[in-house]
C-alpha cells in the first residue's frame, strides 16, 4: 500500500498539506497497529495531549484523537504503521502566539520491520532541541544518522561534551549489568517502547534503574540494546571502538517483557 494521509478525518490534498510541508512546528507519535489495536495506546494518547498543550495551548480531546485514528484505519484488519501529527496553520513565525486546538494529521503506511541485526553505533556530540518532545524538527538527528552511516556505522548515539549518553536518532538505549537494565539519565525523549519494557521486565527477572551513563562507563556493562515503538529490543554490537558480547538470550527476555503488555483497541 502507499501511505494514506488524512487531516481531521478527511483525505489530505496538496493544498491542505502546504503549511505542514513548509513549517516543522508540531509534534507527533508513531505506533504499530495490528487488527485495530496497539500496545501502549494510553502512552501515545498522553504524549499527544502533552505535546498539544505545550506547543499550541490546547489539547485535542482523547475521543477526537481515537476517532481520527479509527478513521485512518477505516475498519481494516492486519498490521500497519500509524503516525499521528499535530500542527496548525494558525501558528507561524508571524503569528507565534496563537492558542488553538491543532489539526490531526494521520499517516497510515505498511508496518515497520523491527531491527534484528546488532547495531554498530557512532557516538556524536548532539542533543535534540526540546528533547522531551517528539517534535517534527528532525534535521539534526537525520544529519547525525547520515554522518554515522557514511562513516561505516549503522546509527548515531547522542552524547554531550562530557560523554554523557542520552539517546539515539529514533530510539532509546539501555545497558545491562547482570540482571539490571540501566537507563541513561539525561535530557531525552521518554519512549513508549522503553515504557512498555519497564512495565514488563520484572516478570522476566530484570530490574530497571536510571542513572547517568558516560562513554567511559561502557566497560562496566555486559550488553546494550536499543528500543522504540517498532523494535522492542535490538542488541548493540559496538559503540565506537567498544564491542559488546552477543546478547541473544537477553534480547529474547526483553521482547517477552514487551509482549507482556496487552494490545489496546483504538
What is the pLDDT confidence band of residue 240, given thresholds at 50, 70 and 90?
very high
* Percentage of the chain modeled with pLDDT above 70: 100
Asked if residue 85 has pLDDT above 90, the reply is: yes
What pLDDT does 148 receive? 98
Average pLDDT, stretch 72-100?
96
Average pLDDT, stretch 55-83?
98
- Which domains does the chain possess? 4-109 (3.30.470.10), 119-265 (3.20.10.10)
**C-alpha neighbours within 13 Å on the C-beta side of residue 78:** 12
What is the pLDDT confidence band of residue 217, given thresholds at 50, 70 and 90?
very high
Neighbours of 227 (CB within 10 A): 26
Average pLDDT, stretch 201-217?
96
Average pLDDT, stretch 223-234?
97
**Beta carbons of 258 and 196 less than 8 angstroms apart:** yes
Average pLDDT, stretch 168-189?
97
What is the pLDDT confidence band of residue 1, given thresholds at 50, 70 and 90?
confident
Asked if residue 161 has pLDDT above 90, the reply is: yes
What pLDDT does 247 receive? 87
Query: What is the per-residue pLDDT across 88-103, written as a single tens digit (0 to 9) for each?
Result: 999 999 999 999 999 9
What is the pLDDT confidence band of residue 29, given thresholds at 50, 70 and 90?
very high
Mean pLDDT of the chain: 96
**Beta carbons of 239 and 217 less than 8 angstroms apart:** no
Asked if residue 254 has pLDDT above 90, the reply is: yes
Neighbours of 232 (CB within 10 A): 24
What pLDDT does 10 receive? 96
Amino acid at each position: 500500500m502507499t501511505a494514506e494521509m488524512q487531516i481531521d478525518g478527511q483525505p489530505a490534498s496538496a493544498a491542505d498539506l502546504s503549511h505542514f510541508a513548509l513549517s516543522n512546528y508540531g509534534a507527533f507519535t508513531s505506533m504499530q497497529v495490528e487488527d485495530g489495536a496497539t500496545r501502549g495506546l494510553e502512552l501515545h494518547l498522553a504524549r499527544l495531549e502533552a505535546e498539544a498543550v505545550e506547543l499550541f495551548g490546547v489539547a485535542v480531546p482523547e475521543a477526537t484523537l481515537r476517532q481520527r485514528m479509527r478513521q485512518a484505519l477505516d475498519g481494516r484488519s492486519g498490521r500497519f504503521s500509524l503516525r499521528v501529527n499535530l500542527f496548525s496553520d494558525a501558528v507561524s513565525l508571524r503569528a507565534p502566539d496563537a492558542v488553538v486546538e491543532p489539526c490531526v494529521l494521520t499517516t497510515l503506511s505498511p508496518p515497520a520491520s523491527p531491527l534484528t541485526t546488532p547495531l554498530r553505533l557512532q557516538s556524536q556530540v548532539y542533543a535534540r532541541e526540546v528533547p522531551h518532545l517528539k517534535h517534527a524538527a528532525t534535521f539534526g538527528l537525520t544529519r547525525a544518522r547520515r554522518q554515522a552511516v557514511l562513516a561505516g556505522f549503522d546509527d548515531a548515539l547522542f552524547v554531550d561534551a562530557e560523554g554523557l549518553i542520552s539517546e539515539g536518532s529514533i530510539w532509546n538505549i539501555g545497558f545491562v549489568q547482570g540482571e539490571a537494565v540501566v537507563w541513561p539519565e539525561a535530557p531525552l525523549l521518554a519512549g513508549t517502547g522503553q515504557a512498555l519494557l519497564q512495565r514488563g521486565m520484572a516478570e522476566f527477572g530484570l530490574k530497571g534503574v536510571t542513572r547517568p551513563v558516560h562513554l567511559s562507563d561502557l566497560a562496566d556493562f555486559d550488553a546494550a540494546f536499543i528500543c522504540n515503538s517498532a523494535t522492542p529490543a535490538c542488541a548493540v554490537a559496538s559503540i565506537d571502538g567498544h564491542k559488546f558480547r552477543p546478547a541473544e538470550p537477553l534480547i529474547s527476555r526483553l521482547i517477552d517483557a514487551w509482549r507482556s503488555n496487552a494490545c489496546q483497541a483504538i
